[in-house]
A and B are shown apart, each in its own frame.
Chain A
Amino acid sequence: MNLHEEYWANLEQGEFKIRRCNQCSKWQFPAMTRCQHCLGEDLSWQKPSGRGQVWSWIKVHKPYFKDYADEVPYLVAMIKLEEGPLMISSLTDVKVPVVKCGTPVSMVIKKGRGGKPMPYFQMPSGPA
């Protein structure tokens, strides 16, 4: 398995893991063979806290992907993980018309298109 396959295989096992350098402790996303900070090659898959913030979000209206044609408009968010890396994901339980940048969110694994388990980020419950 290559690193990308390992990432998805972990999710199949119900675990959201990203790579962390065993030498300098920095996290990375997406998975690479080498640490960007110290260039070390000794990295391992570890579970981040699952906490993060909404860095920003958009609502996609154009059906770029055939698979998503019946879902437009849909939300895409850029999440800043507590550990540092940014990642693209989507939000669940959105009850507000405008998601504030900086809103704290927590990771949940849900099935995406085609039934593949993927990390999503949950909006805080209760009044925003």
Chain B
Amino acid sequence: MTSWTARDKVAVIGVGTTSFGDLYKTRDKFRSDYDLAAEAFKVAVADAGIDRAEIDGLLTARVPSYQHMADILGMRRPKLSYGFEQAGRMSALAVQAAINAIATGHCETVALVYGNNGRSVGAQYGGGEPTTPTGQYDAAYGMTSAGAYVGLMYERYRQLNNVPDDGLAAVSINNRNHAKLNPNAVMHDDLDASIYMESRFVAEPLRLYDYCLINDGGVALILTSVERAKKLGKPVIAFSGTAACGDLTNFYTSDDYYYESCKSVADRVYQQAGTKPRDIDVAQIYDNFTPTILFSLEGFGFCNRGEAHRWVRDGRIGLGGELPVNTSGGHTSESYMQGWAMHVEAVRQLRGECGARQVKDAEIAQYICAAPVSSSHILRRIA
């Protein structure tokens, strides 16, 4: 195994988010994704307490042009500047690019900005023009949307592992319970097992509450070297490990529910950080659709294959449980910010800034995304 040389060398010094709950209440066709990203950037710079001129790298996601983004932010000559495609799997990959650039000395301080006006402009995941080679074939059968491809995986998982009908209820309700403690989350209504079970199917076996909440919003992160972060006088939240692995086929559906790719990431990320699943104090798990939480827990070794649907029950993934998961409410109850806001939540948990939803004494956080490119980081408060 190749060794990763950036352990505890790069830290997150600034995080910023727009409102999510307020933005959800109104649609505005003039609301700009660039402006949402800029708003989050401004918050993140203030949070970091640095001079904006010290930022010498810019990575953008979802906004169409990194050049326009840089112009808006007044970043004329960054040493690092490019954009990532809008898929949610790119959030961790963009963060990895920033870590690598800082650790190898390409630049010193990188801002990552994400802007999304999907709700206002009526973003649809499914039903649009096919974008993959199989897309035109699949659309002829009425097949579309990542949710439907995850539905195929979950139906097989459900059958082969004898999962009861309410196999996803615990993770969906867990997200909601946490969102109720998060003032910025979109959803604060009660969600219990009967409301969950009575909700409508979208792509059966997936129900309404298994789907992410498409919303408007912006998120920004500022990363720099640990050396520099230590001079800023705030808790230092460092990356102790980060890894990724593709499972790249024609379909969003993976025939092993991303197990092998997740396992590859897990093996590396835990080795890099010198941790095991039981050392993780809090986990943020990418959930564009709730089955990915089960697939992630299995692929990363928190439980045995086929058993995650039982493992998540009885409060194990709630506050005070063995592994609090998605403490902000996740994509189904906080807001679908494609993994970006989950990065922020991991940092805020490690800084102890989470109020009613704070995991007591959280020192090690993990971000996990099971997708056609699976990824994970282990973040640690080191000072």
Contacts and interface: CB of A to CB of B under 8 A. Distances in A.
A87 interface: yes
Contact of A101 (B139, B160, B250, B251): B160
Given A55-B255, A89-B141, A60 B156 contact: no
Contact of B127 (A65, A71, A74, A113): A65
B136 A88 contact: no
A65 B202 contact: no
Contacts of A55: 152, 156, 255
Q: How large is the interface on A (under 10, 10 to 19, 20 to 34, 35 or more residues)?
A: 20 to 34
A57 B142 contact: no
A47 interface: no
B149 to A, nearest CB: 9
A119 to B, nearest CB: 10
A61 B142 contact: no
Interface string B227-268: 000000000000000000000001101010000000000000
B142 A86 contact: no
Contact of B140 (A64, A74, A112): A112
A65 B127 CA distance: 5
A106 B133 CA distance: 24
Interface residues of B, number: 34
B155 A58 contact: yes
B249 to A, nearest CB: 8
A7 B133 CA distance: 13
A90 B155 contact: no
Contacts of A94: none
Contact of B203 (A58, A71, A88, A98): A58
Given A60-B148, A68-B142, A88 B134 contact: yes
Nearest to B124: A64
Interface in B103-151: 124, 126-127, 133-134, 136-145, 148, 151
B139 A59 contact: no
Given A4-B136, A56-B155, A60-B203, A30 B142 contact: no
Interface string A72-114: 0110101000000011111000000010110000000000110
Nearest to B250: A30
B263 to A, nearest CB: 21
B203 A61 contact: yes
Nearest to B145: A64
Nearest to A73: B204
Question: What does DSSP make chain A's interface, helix, strand, loop or mixed?
Answer: mixed
B127 A78 contact: no
B204 A59 contact: yes
A39 interface: no
B134 A58 contact: no
B202 A62 contact: yes
Nearest to B249: A86
A123 interface: no
A37 interface: no
A104 to B, nearest CB: 16
Contacts of B140: 112-113, 116, 118
A64 B129 CA distance: 11
A30 B145 CA distance: 18
A24 interface: no
A61 B202 contact: yes
B142 A76 contact: yes
Given A60-B203, A101-B156, A101-B159, A88 B255 contact: no
18 contacts: A55-B152, A55-B255, A56-B155, A58-B151, A60-B148, A60-B203, A60-B204, A61-B203, A64-B124, A64-B142, A64-B145, A73-B204, A76-B152, A86-B255, A87-B137, A101-B155, A101-B156, A116-B140
4 smallest beta-carbon distances between A and B, as pairs: A64-B127, A56-B156, A59-B204, A56-B152
Given A58-B204, A73-B204, A89-B141, 9 more contacts: A30-B250, A55-B255, A58-B151, A59-B204, A61-B201, A61-B204, A64-B126, A64-B127, A88-B138
Interface of A: 4, 7, 29-30, 32, 55-62, 64-65, 67-68, 71, 73-74, 76, 78, 86-90, 98, 100-101, 112-113, 116, 118
